[in-house]
Chains A and B, each alone.
Chain A
Amino acid sequence: MLSDSRQARIIIAMQRSLPWKLAFLILIPTLILYGCSNPSDGGAASDVPSTGIVNKGSDTIVNLALAWAEAYQVLHPDVRISVTGGGSGTGIAALVNGTVDIANASRAMKAEEIDQALSQGIDPVEFVIARDAIAVIVNPNNPVRRLTLQQISDIYSGKINNWQEVGGEDRPIVRLSRETNSGTHVYFLENVLRMGEKENRTLFSRDTLLLPSSEGITSEVRQNPNAIGYDGLGYVTEEVKVIAVASFSGGDYIFPSAESVNSKEYPIARDLYMYTAGEPEGDVAVFLEWVLGGEAQDIVKELGFVPIRP
């Protein structure tokens, strides 16, 4: 049993952001060297047929996918799962190019992406694997505790430029956003800035800071009382303050949580997806079935996401 779990070691490349990529460029050869230094494992590994699942995409999902890969690995030591981040667009592009088995996405595939996939002979199949609330965060020293969706939209589109206008101190507002390749960015644009209206062409204010990682947003919000940012609930730390959001002026202000997401009270929540090329078969099918089951969904809850079944 011990040697089983040792021989099928998961090589996980966590690429949440560029610094991580560089760190892992150094780490991966180290892992490989470590693997080579255990010749006793080599003979045993060739006896058991081992298969790999390549899983890539959304940075929002990467921690969840890693936790799943580790847990699944214990149950099925013969299956190797490699998990990589890079953004929803990156994962979907990789699925279309046929380089991954599963693409993680924090948004549904766009019509043109589906067309592109079909033209490559790939018929993407969608699985909703979890739900996520997007928390709007500010510095703990900022007295503002709650905002309406309209106010958040006006802040990010540049109509509101001082915290005083939403009941705070006389301070300029510094807007923080993820980069445009992030599914969270696109979701926020469509459902918060444009309030879900198809005809609405509102854009982020030009001076919105586009940060390459969730950590970048957290570290700026943590130290800057002028800043406002947004991030998946799973990434929110104790050092920042979460804002209660109301869908409309005069509505109830709701904090993001598993309960308020499942009851559909919290307005900025979305489904998280995994896509496969065609109906999944073999190991991928078994893995996805497990992902949608109780044990995997408990992990969803542990990591601060919202399970698909309450």
Chain B
Amino acid sequence: MRPIGWSEVIITALIKVAGYSAIIFVTLIFTFLLREGAPTLFEVPLEALAQTRWYPIEDYYGILPLIGGSLIVTFGAALFAVPLGIATAVYIAEIAPRWAREILKPLVEILGGLPSVMLGFIGILIIVPFVREALDIPTGLTAFTGALILGGMAIPTIVSVSEDALDAVPKTYRDASLAMGATPWQTIWRVTLPAARSGVLTGVMLGVGRAIGETMTVMMVTGNAPVLPTGLRSLFSPVRTMTATIAAEMGEVANGSVHYHVLFFIGIVLFLISLIVNLTAASVVFKQRKRSERILS
């Protein structure tokens, strides 16, 4: 056995530090959020936070419309991006001929790299007027418009990750299925997709995660009116999301004021929501893996 060189020790240490730093950063960020946001609970009574009016310059701190706004935009984006994203991934991985695949995959990845400000500009100039005229609604600055653009931003993530997962499914699975007389569609739907489930779900979660955290685009196209969404109709009216609120108001608040603390509190809520989404996804993936392992073993 060769003696362990110094370089080996240093490199191992560096990799360790890099690994732990992620944990340390998340902890630090959460501590900071808590420190700046927690005073809210002493300054604003919970009933006031659970109100439906957000107008901080007159001390109305009801955050329900903002939570509702974020959820409805994200939900709308998922509704539109998940089926389209998975379908595109299936086409690229399973159906498309080689040349189409070699063009499509990088194109989708370029789409994922578009800066969100640019999409916001396109949204304001083209999609907003189009949505208003096509749906005959009072204004095109709606949750729906935001969902449409966010969905478009989530699709590349979903496609890219799902396609990798589908690609990783062993060819023998498909061959076995086809050999037993299944049609290509049955093979995709019953064999390939379930086998790639955890990867597909990871892609969906990453895409939805991008949608819920997106700020610039939603601020430009959703109208930012703090109205509590009450149903499907609200999808076609203006909403204000948590991210847009923080971005629009953070620059102006006095450091340490009630408004400042409430904005950090909203940050905590946002953090918790994305944590829940991730944990749910992780547990679903975990369960599925156990089940599929049982079947395949």
CB < 8 Å neighbour of A203 from B52, B55, B216, B238: B55
Interface residues of B in 201-232 (CB under 8 A from A): 216, 219-220, 223-227
Flag the segment in B72-80, B103-111, B174-182, B246-254 that touches A: B246-254
State whether the Cβ of A292 lies closer than 8 Å to any Cβ in chain B.
no
Secondary structure of the A contact surface, majority rule: mixed
CA distance A58 to B125 in the complex (A): 26
CB < 8 Å neighbour of A211 from B57, B129, B138, B224: B224
Among A201, A203, A210, A216, max chain B CB count under 10 A is at A210
CA distance A206 to B223 in the complex (A): 12
State whether the Cβ of B53 lies closer than 8 Å to any Cβ in chain A.
yes
Number of A-B contacts (CB under 8 A): 97
State whether the Cβ of A223 lies closer than 8 Å to any Cβ in chain B.
yes
State whether the Cβ of B38 lies closer than 8 Å to any Cβ in chain A.
no
State whether the Cβ of A234 lies closer than 8 Å to any Cβ in chain B.
no
The smallest C-beta distance from B108 to any residue of chain A, in angstroms, reads 24
Check B138–A181 contact: CB distance below 8 A.
no
Q: Enumerate chain B residues within 8 angstroms of A211, measured Cβ to Cβ.
A: 141, 223-224
Q: Enumerate chain B residues within 8 angstroms of A19, measured Cβ to Cβ.
A: 117, 120-121, 216, 220
Given the known interface contacts A180-B56, A181-B248, A181-B251, the answer about A212 and B220 at a Cβ–Cβ threshold of 8 Å is yes
CA distance A186 to B226 in the complex (A): 17
State whether the Cβ of A89 lies closer than 8 Å to any Cβ in chain B.
yes
Check A207–B227 contact: CB distance below 8 A.
yes
CB < 8 Å neighbour of B248 from A97, A174, A207, A210: A210
The smallest C-beta distance from B203 to any residue of chain A, in angstroms, reads 27
Among A116, A204, A216, max chain B CB count under 10 A is at A216
CB < 8 Å neighbour of B238 from A173, A204, A209: A209
Check B216–A93 contact: CB distance below 8 A.
no
CA distance A207 to B222 in the complex (A): 12
Could you mark each residue 45-85 of chain A with 1 if its beta carbon is under 8 Å from any beta carbon of chain B, else 0?
00000000000000000000000000000000000000000
Given the known interface contacts A87-B251, A219-B124, the answer about A212 and B138 at a Cβ–Cβ threshold of 8 Å is no
Check B138–A226 contact: CB distance below 8 A.
yes
Given the known interface contacts A22-B117, A206-B226, A210-B225, the answer about A174 and B138 at a Cβ–Cβ threshold of 8 Å is yes
Complex: chain B residue closest to A205, CB-CB: B225
The smallest C-beta distance from A168 to any residue of chain B, in angstroms, reads 14
Given the known interface contacts A18-B216, A19-B216, the answer about A186 and B254 at a Cβ–Cβ threshold of 8 Å is no
State whether the Cβ of B160 lies closer than 8 Å to any Cβ in chain A.
no
The smallest C-beta distance from B218 to any residue of chain A, in angstroms, reads 11
Check B140–A86 contact: CB distance below 8 A.
no
CA distance A116 to B252 in the complex (A): 15
CA distance A18 to B120 in the complex (A): 11
